[in-house]
Amino acid sequence: MSGSVRVVFKDRVAVVGVGQTELGKGLPDSELLLALRAIRAALDDCGIDPSEVDGLSSYTMEPDREVEVARNLGLGDITFFSQVGYGGGGGCATVLHAAMAVATGQCNVAVAWRSRKRADKATRVWAQTPEILDDYLQWTRPPGLLRPVDEIAMLMRRHMHRYGTTREQLAEVALAFRAHAQGNPGAAMHGRPLTLDAYLNARWISEPLCLFDNCLESDGAAAVVLVSAERARDLPQPPVLVHAGAQGLPRQHNVMAAYFSDDPTSDGPSSAAAPLLWARADVAPADVKVAQLYDAFSPLVLFSLEGYGFCGRGEAGAFVEGGTLGPGGRLPTNTAGGSMSEAYLHGFNLITEGVRQVRGTAVGQVPDADVCLVTSGECVPTSALLLRSDS
């Protein structure tokens, strides 16, 4: 399909370095120091001197501005810097923007990262909601739809009603990611397997979602380095090509409480991103050997499976049955444990795990993982990446 569209950056830019700090709760380092550690590790991973970095890409929610990162790490003159909004929807877009900047010559060595200290309950954003609301939240929060989990639960209930999706099917998501985490010693839930019985008996958070439908709250940081594919072939790690990427802000969207569009269970953010993503790619969903799907809440994984075309609308519940997403499944997903069982870094650890899978160096390596789809959050303006091996 790529013949019908102008493809500027396909396979022309590669992720060459990945870095990640310890992930966990109560880490002593500041968010800035965590960011610096992750970026330094990513540069060490590819053997590029920090003074060569001339591009920076991050989230608008990133507290540490480019200037702090640049002057601490001794970066050179920065000629491209960009931030992407909407929290967990922006992760893949930070890498996409970096790749576009390298492909168009706006910079040569780009770094994207996320640092986050959110393990402490006092940092919960929803708990800081002002009493008088003058923005879009005034139409949803006052009746008691207070938290992100409530907003997602509303759409999941509708999905269940419309398509017959069940809690047992939703449990497949949580159980699969927990099973992957058992192979990752760095995962928060390593050594703590989850059973269907425990899932079904867990306490409610916002019915129909229970405790295990929610991601973790974590501290940590992760970073990636991108350069041209040509240069990547001279660096120590196997190049991971940015094959395609897309952002998606669907028409008549409302952030998180996405109930006001024409058909909320089928016109979510992935429906805006997916057509461009696949049109730019030489691969199709059936070619994806491993996936990293944004999982702040388990329903988002079902929405992404439908939105990116792994199954039809309303069919994700049936698609995940029988361990599809788990170790050895038909579509191993969130292979380091993801946001629900490894750590929640607004999805950036999904990107670093996607790179490791395509390199062939993941702790839970999927055989022949030459194509990986990475997605960012549903129910917010989103983004996605297709990563591919250089062979």
**CB of 156 vs other proteins, minimal distance in Å:** 9
Amino acid type, 65: R
CA distance 296 to 346: 8
Q: Please pick, among 59, 86, 199, 294, the residue that the annotation labels catalytic.
A: 294
| CB closer to other proteins out of 71 and 203 | 203
**CA–CA distance from 347 to each of 8, 266, 318 (Å)?**
26, 23, 25
CA distance 170 to 159: 11
| CB closer to other proteins out of 40 and 259 | 259
> 325-331: long-range contacts (C-beta < 8 A, 24 or more apart)?
325/172, 325/173, 325/176, 325/177, 325/291, 325/301, 326/172, 326/175, 326/176, 326/179, 326/180, 327/176, 327/179, 327/180, 327/183, 327/364, 329/176, 331/288, 331/290, 331/291
**CB of 357 vs other proteins, minimal distance in Å:** 35
Q: Using CB atoms within 10 A of its CB, is residue 285 exposed (0-12), middle (13-18) or buried (19+)?
A: middle
**CB of 306 vs other proteins, minimal distance in Å:** 17
User: The dihedral of CA 279, 259, 261, 318: what is its sign?
Assistant: positive
Q: Is 294 a catalytic residue?
A: yes
Q: Is 344 a catalytic residue?
A: yes
Q: Do residues 233 and 46 lie in contact, with contact meaning Cβ atoms separated by under 8 Å?
A: no
Q: Please pick, among 59, 199, 308, 344, the residue that the annotation labels catalytic.
A: 344
The DSSP code sequence of 256-315 is SS--SSS-TTTSSHHHHHHHHHHHT-S--GGG--EEE---SBHHHHHHHHHHTTSS-TT-
| CB closer to other proteins out of 11 and 259 | 259
CA distance 367 to 309: 22
Q: Do residues 354 and 372 lie in contact, with contact meaning Cβ atoms separated by under 8 Å?
A: yes
| CB closer to other proteins out of 31 and 151 | 151
| CB closer to other proteins out of 26 and 130 | 130
**CB of 136 vs other proteins, minimal distance in Å:** 7
Q: How many residues does the chain have?
A: 391
**CB of 273 vs other proteins, minimal distance in Å:** 21
Q: Do residues 159 and 265 lie in contact, with contact meaning Cβ atoms separated by under 8 Å?
A: yes
**CB of 252 vs other proteins, minimal distance in Å:** 7
Residue at token pair 């006001």: 260
**CB of 125 vs other proteins, minimal distance in Å:** 12
**Interface positions with other proteins (CB under 8 A):** 121, 127, 129-134, 136, 138-147, 150, 153-155, 157-158, 161, 203-208, 252, 254, 257, 259-260, 262
| CB closer to other proteins out of 72 and 166 | 166
| CB closer to other proteins out of 128 and 391 | 128
Residues catalogued as catalytic: 294, 344
